[in-house]
Amino acid sequence: MVRLHVQHDQLTPKDWPKGFRLRIVVLADIHACTAWMNVPRIDKIVARANALKPDIVLLLGDYLSGMHLMFKSLPHNHWAESLAQLKAPLGVHAVLGNHDWWEDLQAQARRGGPTMAGNALEEVGIKVYSNEAVRFEKDGHGFWLAGLESQLALLSNRRIPRRGVVGLDDLDGTLAQVTNDEPIVLMAHEPDIFPKVPSRVSVTLSGHTHGGQVRVRDRSPAVPSRYGNQYAYGHVVEDDRHLIVSGGLGYSVLPLRFGVPPEINLIELG
């Protein structure tokens, strides 16, 4: 297994309250399985994340493996119980990813939730956001945490998985729940929503791409995004809007990483 990396980003978004510091740890794309991403491995990731002493922990989806034909998936309660050991004063919060929907045949059949992955997280006390915004306070400053549902949730053709995919995300409805001008941190598993995100949002946090999983000279030959390398990895700034795309922790399609090691993200705002 490639050595775990901690990617540290420090930024002060436009209109961020003076003197307000927020320390966020992000885990994305775990893809739990019995091979490289088993319970002992997840436990080590959790211990490393806790050692960073975050104010809040955000989980950005794809807890389930998309490689079940080659490797056995972990039982949902096993990986969820490991993630339940994450600790932060403001709690642990999650969104779902496309694989959490795609691998759930019952959710696909009824064209909606609940999902097995979502239930597993909720059962261990981790809140799952599906187009929802919730207000928090730290050191006398308020902020909003918003979480979108997957933009690639429902498959219309199981034989051709990426054709006719339907999203369940509702950006406008999610942001409409924010009732004041305090800053917003947005969780969105897939980064392709970013062009639609208004400047009102302080930072958008995404996973999904694995940084392309193979990366040479800051480019990847294949990225699961309609924007290619534009939102493949790292800190992107457009028109004073911030996006951070995690390289993630697990594998998809092939158990291969080159130039983009598995990572935990530490993001310091303010």
Q: Per-domain residue ranges for the chain? A: 5-269
Check: CB of residue 147 under 8 Å from CB of residue 171.
no
Please indicate whether residue 254 or residue 116 has the higher confidence score (pLDDT): 116
The pLDDT-based confidence of 1 (bands split at 50, 70, 90) is: low
Level-2 CATH architecture, domain 5-269 = 4-Layer Sandwich (3.60)
Cβ-in-10-Å burial (0-12, 13-18, 19+) of 141 comes to middle
Least confident residue range of 16-30, 40-54, 210-224: 210-224
How many residues are recorded in the chain? 270
State the Cα–Cα distance between residues 265 and 116, nearest whole angstrom. 26
Range name among 51-60, 91-100, 140-149, 251-260 with the lowest pLDDT average: 251-260
| Cα separation, 208 vs 246, whole angstroms | 8
The rounded distance, in Å, linking the Cα atoms of 42 and 45 is 5
C-beta of residue 129 within 8 angstroms of C-beta of residue 93: yes
pLDDT single digits (tens) 53-107: 999 999 999 999 977 656 778 999 999 999 999 999 999 999 999 999 999 999 9
Q: What is the mean pLDDT of residues 218-247?
A: 96
pLDDT for residue 161 is more than 60: no
SS3 83: helix
Q: Is the pLDDT of residue 215 over 70?
A: yes
Confidence (pTM): 0.95
The 3-class secondary structure across 151-189, one letter per residue, is: CCCECCCCCCCCCCCECCCCHHHHHCCCCCCCCEEEECC
